[in-house]
Amino acid sequence: MRAYLDNAATTRLDPAVLEAMLPLMTEDFGNPSSIHAHGRKVRTVIERARKTVATLLHTSPAEIFFTSGGTEADNTAIRSSIETYGLKHAITSPLEHHAVLHTLEHLASRGIIKLSLVEVDEKGRLNLAHLEELLRTHPDTLVSLMHGNNEIGNLLDLETVGNLCREHNAVFHSDTVQTMGHYRHDLQQLPVDFIVGSAHKFHGPKGVGFLYANANTKSGRGPIHPFVHGGPQERNMRGGTENVYGIVGLAKALEIAYAEMDQHRQYIESLKVRMIDQLRGKLDGVAFNGCSDDLTQSLYTVLNVSLPSSEMSDMLLFNLDIAGISASGGSACTSGSNLGSHVLSALPGNDADRGAIRFSFSKYNTPEEVDYVVNTLVELFQREQEAVK
Ligand SMILES: Cc1ncc(COP(=O)(O)O)c(C=O)c1O
């Protein structure tokens, strides 16, 4: 068996998405900036895709900008809002994806901003009292806090945090890469200035994403300047000939994700519960990192398993790979090493000797795959115990 359980890293392309993309790779090859018929046809296709995304998210097409993926969308929100509004301070958490953390750390290292980190507890929950304290003492701030954590799955209540930002006149960006296409985002209601999406996380193509940027920003500061300068594409917000087939694939993938969301959520959640129950029943000493075993507080797509410390902790992923299982993870960084997970390292009291594996599920996984993974893990630990005897 070859089981793919790394869907937080990337997902399999939906065949219907490929079908929607193919004509843009063949007969509809015009440059959307050209004013002749070939160009106009493709321009129409892009604008239709923008309208699809905007409609699903309850916003206006004028607020959707296509990018090369989640990383560029995060960079645009962060760098352009700091530059356009002259912000001198930002607040984030140590659990963010590097697309956010490294961008903010770079700006702090250049003296452009001062950076504050919100405290987190041993389960990776943000200390909202600390966030409020930081907001109170730092007016004119950018807050960048992710919606769903890609490693431990923790979910953030965007409404609560967004309202706190409003109260303190802060700009609010949320990295929603892991929730886009898996949860509904109603931008008429959500108090956010910027959110992002990346097509390959919801069965679309790689190398394409989008930024939602509120036209005036809900914080009242007006539109941001572009991050990628060049031609007038994306209404002067993002230079460069559009990734036309990517954009079409993104819109199709999001459309499918919304149409099938409730059904897939139920199915995928049942796979996660199956894995939690079986691991608890069959593997002594198993635990779960972050809030990932709490269905109300974590992504239904992600389970971060903490395994008893053992001689083979470093070899777990390798052994699973040999057994035909693709997963990812890594324990907390040990001192002096920069390998491992910066997310687990940031959790107070996390034991770096324990193995950590992130399993992440999609609509293409099966209960049989879950059973196979659990049995393989149990066997690996049994074999090790026998070797020690
Ligand atoms: C939370 C989060 N943010 C940002 C990204 C980056 O997205 P992309 O791969 O589209 O650049 C990822 C993907 O790994 C992610 O999981």
Q: What does the pLDDT look like over 279-298, one tens digit per residue?
A: 999 999 999 999 999 999 99
Confidence check: pLDDT of 336 > 60:
no
What's the mean pLDDT in 6-29? 97
- Ligand 1 nearest-atom number relative to CA 69: 10
Which residue has its alpha carbon closest to ligand 1 atom 5? 70
- Ligand 1 nearest-atom number relative to CA 207: 10
Q: Which residues partner with 326 through β-bridges?
A: 4
Collect all residues with Cβ–Cβ distance below 8 Å to 112 and sequence separation of at least 6: 82
Say if ligand 1 is within 6 A of residue 146 CB. yes
- Which pLDDT score, from 0 to 100, does residue 98 have? 96
Confidence check: pLDDT of 6 > 70:
yes
Contact 229, 84 (CB under 8 A): no
Closest CA to 365 of 207, 155, 203: 203
Token pair of 261 as six digits: 């969301």
User: How many residues appear in the chain?
Assistant: 389
Backbone φ, ψ for residue 333 (5° rounding): -65, 135
Residue 328's H or E segment, with its range, is strand 328-329
What's the mean pLDDT in 61-85? 97
C-alpha 105/C-alpha 160 separation (Å) is 25
Say if ligand 1 is within 6 A of residue 257 CB. no
- Which pLDDT score, from 0 to 100, does residue 339 have? 67
Contact 118, 131 (CB under 8 A): yes
- Which pLDDT score, from 0 to 100, does residue 315 have? 87
- Which pLDDT score, from 0 to 100, does residue 107 have? 98
Contact 149, 290 (CB under 8 A): yes
Distance, CA 285 to ligand 1 centroid (Å)?
Answer: 32
- Which pLDDT score, from 0 to 100, does residue 314 have? 77
Burial class (CB in 10 A: 0-12, 13-18, 19+), 13: middle
Backbone φ, ψ for residue 135 (5° rounding): -65, -40
pTM of the entire structure? Answer: 0.96
Confidence check: pLDDT of 208 > 90:
yes
Confidence check: pLDDT of 388 > 70:
no
Say if ligand 1 is within 6 A of residue 238 CB. no
Q: Which of 10, 156, 177 to mutate to test the pocket of ligand 1 (most atoms within 8 A of CB)?
A: 177
Instruction: Say which range, 78-82, 140-144, 366-370, 378-382, has the weakest mean pLDDT.
Output: 378-382
Predicted confidence band at 331 (pLDDT cuts at 50, 70, 90)? low
Q: Give the residue ranges of DSSP H helices in 213-260.
A: 233-236, 244-259
C-alpha 167/C-alpha 164 separation (Å) is 5
Which residue has its alpha carbon closest to ligand 1 atom 15? 177
Distance, CA 112 to ligand 1 centroid (Å)?
Answer: 24
- Which pLDDT score, from 0 to 100, does residue 374 have? 97
Q: Which of 67, 102, 150 to mutate to test the pocket of ligand 1 (most atoms within 8 A of CB)?
A: 150
C-alpha 288/C-alpha 151 separation (Å) is 12
Mean pLDDT of the chain: 95
Contact 290, 338 (CB under 8 A): no
Residue 341 to residues 96, 251, 304, 352: CA-CA distances in angstroms?
11, 32, 12, 10
Say if ligand 1 is within 6 A of residue 174 CB. no
Query: Which residue in this structure is represented by tokens 């269905």?
Result: 295
Q: Which of 6, 71, 101, 152 to mutate to test the pocket of ligand 1 (most atoms within 8 A of CB)?
A: 71
Distance, CA 252 to ligand 1 centroid (Å)?
Answer: 19
Strand residues in 133-219 grouped as ranges (E): 141-144, 171-174, 194-198, 209-213
Closest CA to 346 of 96, 8, 89, 156: 96
Confidence check: pLDDT of 249 > 60:
yes
C-alpha 204/C-alpha 349 separation (Å) is 38
Residue 302's H or E segment, with its range, is strand 302-307
- Which pLDDT score, from 0 to 100, does residue 353 have? 86
What's the mean pLDDT in 72-86? 97
C-alpha 51/C-alpha 70 separation (Å) is 19
Say if ligand 1 is within 6 A of residue 178 CB. yes
C-alpha 192/C-alpha 265 separation (Å) is 24
Predicted confidence band at 383 (pLDDT cuts at 50, 70, 90)? confident
Say if ligand 1 is within 6 A of residue 54 CB. no
Percentage of the chain lying above the pLDDT 90 cut = 88
Catalytic center residues: 333
Contact 367, 321 (CB under 8 A): no
Q: Which of 200, 201, 343 to mutate to test the pocket of ligand 1 (most atoms within 8 A of CB)?
A: 201
Which residue has its alpha carbon closest to ligand 1 atom 16? 150
Confidence check: pLDDT of 332 > 70:
no
Predicted confidence band at 91 (pLDDT cuts at 50, 70, 90)? very high
Q: What is the pLDDT of residues 22-64, one digit of tens each?
A: 999 999 999 999 999 999 999 999 999 999 999 999 999 999 9
Say if ligand 1 is within 6 A of residue 197 CB. no
Residue 287's H or E segment, with its range, is strand 287-288
Percentage of the chain lying above the pLDDT 70 cut = 97
Distance, CA 153 to ligand 1 centroid (Å)?
Answer: 13
What's the mean pLDDT in 208-232? 90
Q: Is 75 helix (H, G, I), strand (E, B) or coil?
A: helix
